[in-house]
Structure formats: structure tokens, C-alpha cells
Amino acid sequence: MIKINNLTKKFGKNISLDNVNIEFNKSDYIALMGANGAGKTTLVRSILGYYHPDSGSVEINGLDPIKDRVEVLNNISFVPQLPPPIKLSISELMEYISKSTGVDKGQIEYFSNEMKLDIKANINKSFFTLSGGMKQKLLIAISLARKSKIIIYDEPTANLDPKARDDFYRLLKDNQEDKTLLFITHRLEEVQDIVNREVYMDLGKIVSDKAIII
């Protein structure tokens, strides 16, 4: 599904991805790990088509995430490392998402409820005025509501309380069947029940890639 071929990405002299080769397939649930600055976020952003590679390529179901951006992103749910300070209200954000992806707003509400986030009570608030944990809950709810074939999480649980983390992992386990999950985390023990593959990065390279037998 996701094929990364000899991908190199530099920022100035800094090599953030150094000739990376890796493939992620259906029913791969990957924990992507590595020290700060290893290149995890850079890899994910390349998959989303945000970066123009210095060399190499990214293919998603045979498509280029830059040239065929709309088709590729139709199949990807993404939650970023930091929830951005979006000024739109919750209802406007939901409109943006449901109109651009076709996802039903009811589904977003359903998953918000499951994440113990009361959307109705906050519907006219600006997104950036929600608490850090509430923002993450909403972004997670959106990512699940879309039912995308590829789910990419860049450390989505930093601000979640333990209870919310449990809710999240339970929901994810129930909804990941036949998908590709790429989960950046620093805490393997938390995602152990969900993932079946561990990938480590360091200094822009993949340094280890192994299957976990559950």
C-alpha cells in the first residue's frame, strides 16, 4: 500500500531522511519509534505529500502523494503531533471535514462520544480554545469517523489522561481491521496490544524492522 523507495529528504545540510526504503501493507499495524529528531515526523509528512523529496519516491497504492494528492488523501486519516491553533469553530471544522471528505457528521459525534468529548456543548467554540486533551480527542474522533484505509498517528496521546488513552486504544483496536496503521510513539508498552510490527529510526535511517508475534 505504502511504498517508500530510496527516499532522501534534506533541510539545508541536515539529512532528515537518509535513503529510506520500507513498505507498509494492509493489516500492518506499525509502531514507529526512535529518538527525538530521528526523522519520524519527516517520514510521515513525506507520505502525506507535504515534502518534495531530494531523491527517491513515495507511492501509495501506486499513486504519488504530491501529484495525486486528492486521491491519496482520500484514503488517509492523520492526527498530527501537536493540535494546531485552528480558529474555526467546532461546527465549522466539522463542516470543512464532512464536505471535503464526505464523512458523516454523525459519525464524528459518535466517536467523540466514545472518547468522552461532548461535542454539542462545545459546538460554537473556536477549536483553539478547547483544552489540549479535548483537541486531541476531537482529532482522534475525526480520524476514526473517516474510516480511512490508512491511519497515521504522530504521537496523538501526549495530552490524554489515562482513561482517555484506554478509550482510544480500545476504539482503535475495534476499528483497525484490514487497515494500515502507522503509529509514532515513544511508549511501546502502551500500544503493544495494537501493533504487530515495530520499526525503529535513527538519524534518518530505518535501523530495525521486526514483526511482533501477538
Partner 1 sequence: MKNLYLIAFLDLKESLRAKWFLVYSLVFGGLIALFFIAGVTESQVMGFSGLSRLLLMYIQITIIILPIFILITTVRSISGDRDNHILEYMLSFPISLKEYYWGKIIGRFITVYLPVLLAMIIAIIFGVIKGASIPWSIFFLYTGLLFALSSSFLGIAFFISSFVKSSEVALGIAFFVWILLLAFIDIALISIMMSNRLDEELIIFIALINPMEIFRVSAISLFDPELTVMGPVAFYILDTIKQSTFIFISIAYPILLGLGFAFMGFRIFKKKDLV
Q: Which residues bind partner 1 (CB under 8 A)?
A: 45, 48-52, 69-74, 76, 78, 80, 82-88, 92, 95-97, 99-101, 139
Query: Residue 103 or residue 117: which is nearer to partner 1 going by CB?
Result: 103
Number of residues that bind Mg ion (CB under 5 A): 1
Output phi, psi for 99, to 5 deg.
-70, -40
Query: Residue 49 or residue 109: which is nearer to Mg ion going by CB?
Result: 49
Candidate list 2, 28, 34, 47; residue touching ligand ATP; CB under 6 A: 34
CA angle, corner 170, sides to 168 and 176, nearest 5? 95
Query: Residue 170 or residue 186: which is nearer to ligand ATP going by CB?
Result: 186
Q: How far is the CB of 97 from ligand ATP (least distance, A)?
A: 25
11 binds ligand ATP (CB under 6 A): yes
Q: By C-alpha distance, which of 94, 79, 74, 186 is closest to 140? A: 79
Torsion of CA 112, 116, 117, 121, to 10 degrees: 110
Distance CA 80, CA 36 (A): 15
**Site track for Mg ion across 33-52, x = CB under 5 A:** --------x-----------
The interface partner of residue 55, options being ligand ATP, partner 1, Mg ion, none and the CB cut-off 5 to 8 Å by kind, is: none
Q: What DSSP line would sit under 6-74, residue for residue?
A: EEEEEETTEEEEEEEEEEE-TT-EEEEEESTTSSHHHHHHHHTT-S--SEEEEEETTB-TTTTHHHHHT
**Site track for ligand ATP across 73-112, x = CB under 6 A:** --------x-------------------------------
Kind plus residue range of the DSSP H or E element containing 118: none
**Site track for ligand ATP across 151-190, x = CB under 6 A:** ----------------------------------------
CB-based burial of residue 18 (10 Å sphere; 0-12 exposed, 13-18 middle, 19+ buried)?
middle
39 binds ligand ATP (CB under 6 A): yes
